[in-house]
Amino acid sequence: MPGGLRRQILRFGIVGAVGFVVNVGMVEWLARSIGPIWAQVLAFPVAASVTWWLNRRYTFGVSRQAWHREWLHYILANAFGWAVINGVYFLLVLHFTLMYRHPSLALAVGAVLGMALNFAASKWIVFK
């Protein structure tokens, strides 16, 4: 694996970890008052926007698109990975009491599964 690609994967992982902390922090904070499903509905777009900005700045660089088009392209290109993340999250939260009580565990499982899909979409579709 070339060194540049390795650095991008490492940076993408770090950015993903930051996004995960933002997502988990909001879910844990909001879940107490509105439940874990609505907490994720509100937290996920915020975390996605944070990862877009950080990947744009540190991982891949700015694309040739205007920032608002790039953001929308990022959201759309990563939709499948995010569907996997949120699908696993909702499945686990709705079917396992432990995951309902501790939604960050369900979020972690989904995040690991969706990360590879999101890297590929970001690198080869958005920030090419």
The residues near 62 (Cβ < 8 Å, ≥ 6 apart) are 56, 70
pLDDT at position 85 over 90: no
H/E stretch holding 29: helix 3-34
> What average pLDDT does range 101-106 have in this prediction?
91
Q: Which pLDDT belongs to residue 13?
A: 93
Please report which confidence band the pLDDT of residue 117 belongs to, taking 50, 70 and 90 as the band edges.
Answer: confident
Q: What is the pTM of this model?
A: 0.80
CA angle 60, 10, 65 (to 5 degrees): 10
Q: Closest by alpha carbon to 109, among 6, 23, 14, 15?
A: 23
